[in-house]
Amino acid sequence: RALEIDLREAMDKQEFALFYQPIYDLRRDRISGFEALLRWQHPNRGFVPPDQFIPLAEEIGLIAPLGEWVLNRACEQAANWPDELKIAVNVSASQFRDPKFADVIANAIDASALSPHRLELEITESVLLGNSSETIATLHELKARGLRIALDDFGTGYSSLSYLRSFPFDKIKIDQSFVRDATATKGSKLIVRAITSLGRSLGMTTTAEGVETVEQLNQMKAEGCNEAQGFLFSRPVPATELASTILSLR
Ligand code: G
Ligand code: G
Ligand code: MN
Ligand code: NA
């Protein structure tokens, strides 16, 4: 059976789940929220990584309903968390460019009664490729509704500083490749330093992704990162393990 056929049936068969990874506020010394990460558990294939099925979902026109499911589910679950916890949701470029995207967001917020400032959308630089006026208008509309916008995987891909000028992001997420290297390679350390300095100057929060060791954590603190996320704190966990994850990081 082709992966595509299984993917088309996966939603009806309720094979998707959201896992949550804590994002840690280094200054306040507590969890500031969770990033939702989509998981597909197929009965025969086992766990299929998102890197495989998200591009396929985009190709076969399934990303809109799938992305809508993710947003609805994430908002619905986060609405039950303590108020100070935010929920971050990844949004791919094709999802973002869908003319119905702003409506999907509005519906998810209305249906869950989640306060919009608790919802953060993670977009990558690929969303901004071409710097179209529609994209910038959508970003401003979402911000006007009270949502927060984070620039994910910063420093990879089509990285361009002009993106930081075209829109007032709330957050820059420093790609894990720099974080991983920062304790060993001077270049990576200086790149982390430059990004945090840039973020600070522009009034944007900086988050170090992929922190796996105490050494990396200390390095990120020294460079002035505001937040950290990674296996050192916790792997992404199912919703049923959220409470114990929060307790373990107290
Ligand atoms: O944890 P990890 O293997 O989950 O994620 C792999 C990639 O898949 C990352 O780039 C992540 O941003 C992306 N991803 C995870 N969940 C979602 C989702 O719900 N929607 C989109 N568009 N991308 C996601
Ligand atoms: O592209 P995005 O940053 O959304 O993807 C997050 C991805 O990073 C997910 O696949 C998630 O499981 C993974 N991830 C989160 N923390 C760590 C970590 O400490 N180490 C590694 N190797 N991957 C991580
Ligand atoms: Mn992300
Ligand atoms: Na990222």
Are 118 and 85 in contact by the 8 Å Cβ rule? The answer is yes
Quote the pTM value. 0.97
Q: Residue for token digits 């994850």? A: 245
Closest CA to 199 of 229, 226, 237: 226
- Cβ–ligand 2 distance for 152 under 6 Å, the answer yes
- State in Å: Cα 90 to ligand 4 middle: 9
Q: Taking Cα atoms as reference points, which of 92, 141, 90, 82 lies closest to residue 115?
A: 82
Written as six digits, the tokens of 214 are 């105490």
Task: Report the CATH number at residue 136.
Answer: 3.20.20.450
Tell whether ligand 1 has an atom less than 6 A from the beta carbon of residue 38: yes
Pairing of strands 16-25, 227-228: antiparallel
Residues across the chain? 250
The residue whose CA has the least distance to atom 13 of ligand 1 is: 50
User: Would residue 81 be called left, alpha or beta, if left means φ above 0 and alpha means ψ between -120 and 50 degrees?
Assistant: beta
- Cα(152) to centroid of ligand 4, in Å? 4
Buried (b) or exposed (e) across 41-53, using 16+ Cβ within 10 A?
Answer: ebeeeeebeeeeb
Domain of 227 in residue numbering reads as 3-248
226 contact partners, CB below 8 Å, separation of at least 6:
25, 26, 27, 199, 205, 206, 207
Q: What is the whole-number distance in angstroms between the Cα of residue 1 and the centre of ligand 4? A: 32
pLDDT at 154: 93
**Count of structural domains within the chain:** 1
> Residue 66: its pLDDT value, please?
97
Question: Which are the contacts of 47, defined by CB distance < 8 A and separation ≥ 6?
Answer: 39, 40, 41
**Residues 129 and 94 sit within 8 Å (Cβ to Cβ):** no
Residue for token pair 């190709």: 59
CA of 1 to the centre of ligand 3 (A): 30
Does the Cβ of 74 fall within 6 Å of ligand 1?
no
- Look-up of token digits 């071409």: 130
pLDDT of residue 204: 97
Give dist(CA 8, CA 146) in Å, integer: 34
CA of 122 to the centre of ligand 4 (A): 8
Q: Which residues of the chain have pLDDT under 50?
A: none
pLDDT of 237 reads 98
Q: Which residues surround ligand 4, an ion (CB under 5 A)?
A: 152-153, 173, 209
Minimal-distance CA residue to ligand 1 atom 4: 37
Answer whether 156 contacts ligand 2 (Cβ < 6 A). Answer: no
Distance 174 CA to ligand 4 centre (A): 7
- ipTM rounded to 2 decimals: 0.98
Rg over alpha carbons for the chain, rounded to the nearest Å, is: 18
209 lines ligand 2 (CB under 6 A): yes
Predicted local distance difference test score (pLDDT) of residue 166: 84
